[in-house]
A and B are shown apart, each in its own frame.
Chain A
Amino acid sequence: MNINKDIAAPGEINFTGKGGELFGILLVNFILSLITLGIYYPWAKAARLKYLYQETSFGGSPFSFHGTGWEMFKGMIKVIGVFMLLLLVLYIGLIFRSFPVLLVGFGVYFLGLLFFMPLAIVSSLKYRLSRTSWRGIHGGYRGTYGSMLKIYLKGILLTILTLGVYGFWFWVSVYREIFSNIRLGNVRFSFRGEGDEFFIMNVKGYALTLLTLGIYYFWWRSEVYNYFFRHIVIRQEERQARFLTGMTGSRMFELLVTNFLLLVITLGIAFPWVLSRTMRVYAGNLSVEGEINFGTIVQTEENYTDAGGEAFIDGLDIQLV
């Protein structure tokens, strides 16, 4: 058997979705979610993710999302249970109207959230990556709750003590932890960004945005985009590859300003078109270059179908890619 030669442009990342099709999916999602008072939400999310993943391709082959609404529904029920429990503690505090009880209520609530946030991220990544495949090879997340929790506790404590300054290093440490545990078959990832660079970039971005009355914002955003992707290292045994990014401030400017105008003029109805053009620009400015032959990836990861974390990150409104 010989290897297929006609695979177009290896290393290219593309998004081929269309606003009109996405509109169809989101419209049905919207109506069914409304009619079912939100119960349809997990199925809606599955349909949306399937479309977004399957319209995204790398090296000419589309990604697949294997998650189902039912898996995510079961996850959602679990998470609603946890939230109800946490809220119950808070309400007991409010009902008793005594300061110590209220303090305990708040304490349990926020500590609960603090401890669940890393759990949510870890289990969501496990689910999301395991349910993603490319050429039949599944992704996976090998990180543990314990190591993410340590990073979180240290990060939040230091962020509070430094009045937010440590937040940049915290962000970088979370991404380091996440990427070092991502697998696609026997391909491994790592994030090589440094907090110092990220901090300076953001301070500079913030200051120049103020000085230029907001114009620099788009260049700042494109710097953050480039920073993020350029520091991801892809490894397969001894071979390495990296993302190349071609994002510029003017492209970001064009994208975000047009998105904003579209949304405002159509009162939000253009959202599917905005989403698909954002995906197109984000994916279109990315490619992978290096020594890795992606045809040699070997399946390594286990199946993981617990979608609890998926619902949790929704509940906490954390945005994962």
Chain B
Amino acid sequence: MSGQSVFTGTYYDGRTARPFSARAIPAQEGLRILLEGENVSEIIWDYHKIHRNPVNNNKIVLKYGDFPSETLELGSEAFLKAASRYAPDARFLILPYRGYLRIGSAGILIGVAGIIGLLLGLYFFLIPALMNFAADRFPRSLEYEMGQSMKGTFISSAQVDRERTRDINRFFGLLKADTRYKINITVIKSGVKNAFALPGGEIVVFSAILDTMETYHELAALLGHELGHIEKRHTLKLLFRNLSTYILVSALLQDVSGVMAVIVDNAARLNGLSYNRKAEKESDEYGFALMQKNHLRLTGMTSLFEKLKAGDGHEGEVPEFLATHPSLGRRIETVNSWIAGQTDNSKHHPGLDHYWQLLRKKH
């Protein structure tokens, strides 16, 4: 029996919590457990029926048999090595979590980088793709109701210019536009040069932006652009995306979501900004196509942008907090490059001009 190692520990028989001093001896025939006492008794455990609690900082805890199982607590890691001489493939020697339990600081750093990478990937690629998918399939009737309730909140605190609202809708009615939506435009009395589109077909135009315009081409450019936002469901996508951020955060972080949501919400706004620039370009393209189709003067679009750029810092088109100056400059360049490839086939539109004259007189 030379070369056998003996390990001391505590044994519990599974019937009571009474501790027995035990000596564990890994041997060929199995794990021999000698229970101390007046008469030393011996138990033999089959290596392949031993289970081990995956982790414990202080002790190796072995379980044997079905409910209620016997338990052996040992204090020395050397036991595992000794046992592996007799049964290297025994289940209790291989721990699923062993590999990364002692990952160390480098492992933690890699893990942290991994989490951050995964979250960024999720946030910048997977979620936008999923949200676009969802937004594209969102029922139009619900989209309309959502737009109505948003409009309701907004309009209640603003003054509607009824005459101009009537005329601008007639103006729009004369434009040839491909749209799946029933468009309704509202003119609001306001000194801010702004206009925005809501989901489901609502466009809100602030009176100050009308006052800066000089031609009906510019108004058509503005409406075409806003129609682009509606057709491409930009607001809906933005809403979905901000919403998904909350869902993601609360799902992943559970208890700490309160603090995190605030942090991530701010990040969502910054990200929403870049999303909107892309959306602006899509809407510009849409508006540009609309102007071509209606034989309008394409430079109406750039002159509109120029006026907004020269304005008082409020840019229009998008809610102010999303608007930025550099993007307008870049948008003018982009539209100019589109114009460069076109021949001017614009015609005079007496109908549009008629309503434009009515619209511009009223102030």
B118: chain A residues within 8 A (beta carbon):
31, 34
Say which residue of B21, B56, B256, B260 sits within 8 Å of A2 (CB atoms).
B21
Interface status of A25 (Cβ within 8 A of chain B):
yes
A54: chain B residues within 8 A (beta carbon):
53-56, 61
Q: Given A4-B10, A55-B55, A64-B61, are A134 and B102 neighbors across the interface (CB < 8 Å)?
A: no
Q: Given A18-B57, A263-B259, A298-B16, are A61 and B73 neighbors across the interface (CB < 8 Å)?
A: yes
Segment with Cβ contacts to B, from A161-169, A221-229, A267-275: A267-275
Say which residue of B61, B102, B104, B253 sits within 8 Å of A62 (CB atoms).
B61
Contact pattern, A 1-32, Cβ under 8 Å of B = 1, otherwise 0: 11110110000000011101101110110110
A interface residues, how many (CB within 8 angstroms): 49
A295:B114 contact, CB within 8 angstroms: no
Interface status of A136 (Cβ within 8 A of chain B):
yes
Interface status of B108 (Cβ within 8 A of chain A):
yes
Interface status of A114 (Cβ within 8 A of chain B):
no
B108:A136 contact, CB within 8 angstroms: no
Say which residue of B68, B103, B252 sits within 8 Å of A24 (CB atoms).
B103
Say which residue of B10, B13, B38, B253 sits within 8 Å of A268 (CB atoms).
B253
Interface status of B14 (Cβ within 8 A of chain A):
yes
A133: chain B residues within 8 A (beta carbon):
68, 71
B56:A16 contact, CB within 8 angstroms: yes
Interface status of B20 (Cβ within 8 A of chain A):
yes
Say which residue of B17, B67, B253 sits within 8 Å of A134 (CB atoms).
B17
Interface status of A135 (Cβ within 8 A of chain B):
yes
How many B residues touch the partner, as a band? 35 or more
Nearest CB of chain A from residue B19's CB, rounded to whole Å:
4
Q: Given A1-B35, A64-B53, A135-B19, are A21 and B102 neighbors across the interface (CB < 8 Å)?
A: yes
A297: chain B residues within 8 A (beta carbon):
16-17
A135: chain B residues within 8 A (beta carbon):
12, 17, 19, 71
Say which residue of A6, A16, A61, A263 sits within 8 Å of B57 (CB atoms).
A16
B16: chain A residues within 8 A (beta carbon):
137, 185, 295-299
B57: chain A residues within 8 A (beta carbon):
16-18, 55
Say which residue of B10, B71, B103, B253 sits within 8 Å of A20 (CB atoms).
B103
Contact pattern, B 26-49, Cβ under 8 Å of A = 1, otherwise 0: 000000000111100100000000
Interface status of B348 (Cβ within 8 A of chain A):
no
A38 nearest CB neighbor, chain B only: B251
Q: Which label, helix, strand, loop or mixed, suits the secondary structure of the B interface?
A: mixed
Q: How far, in angstroms, from A143 to B171 measured CA to CA in the complex?
A: 74
Interface status of A121 (Cβ within 8 A of chain B):
no
B68: chain A residues within 8 A (beta carbon):
133, 136-138, 299
A28:B100 contact, CB within 8 angstroms: yes
B37 nearest CB neighbor, chain A only: A1
B73: chain A residues within 8 A (beta carbon):
61-62
Nearest CB of chain A from residue B259's CB, rounded to whole Å:
6
Q: How far, in angstroms, from A27 to B15 measured CA to CA in the complex?
A: 37
Q: How far, in angstroms, from A64 to B36 measured CA to CA in the complex?
A: 25
A269:B17 contact, CB within 8 angstroms: no
B20:A138 contact, CB within 8 angstroms: no
Nearest CB of chain B from residue A135's CB, rounded to whole Å:
4
Nearest CB of chain A from residue B291's CB, rounded to whole Å:
41
Interface status of A47 (Cβ within 8 A of chain B):
yes
Interface status of B342 (Cβ within 8 A of chain A):
no
Say which residue of A4, A17, A136 sits within 8 Å of B13 (CB atoms).
A136
Interface status of B112 (Cβ within 8 A of chain A):
yes
Interface status of B263 (Cβ within 8 A of chain A):
yes
Nearest CB of chain B from residue A91's CB, rounded to whole Å:
14
CB-CB nearest 6 A-B residue pairs: A1-B37, A297-B17, A24-B100, A136-B71, A136-B12, A4-B19
Q: List 28 A-B contacts (CB under 8 A).
A: A2-B21, A3-B20, A6-B21, A18-B57, A20-B108, A24-B101, A24-B103, A24-B111, A28-B100, A31-B115, A50-B53, A54-B55, A62-B56, A62-B59, A133-B71, A135-B12, A135-B17, A135-B71, A136-B13, A136-B17, A185-B17, A264-B259, A267-B263, A268-B256, A269-B115, A299-B14, A299-B15, A299-B68
Query: Which residues does A use to contact B, with CB under 8 Å?
Result: 1-4, 6-7, 16-18, 20-21, 23-25, 27-28, 30-31, 34, 47, 50-51, 54-55, 57, 61-62, 64, 133-138, 185, 260, 263-264, 267-269, 271, 294-299, 303
* Additional 11 contacts, C-beta under 8 A, given A3-B20, A137-B16: A1-B36, A3-B18, A17-B57, A21-B55, A27-B100, A51-B97, A54-B61, A136-B70, A260-B259, A268-B260, A303-B67
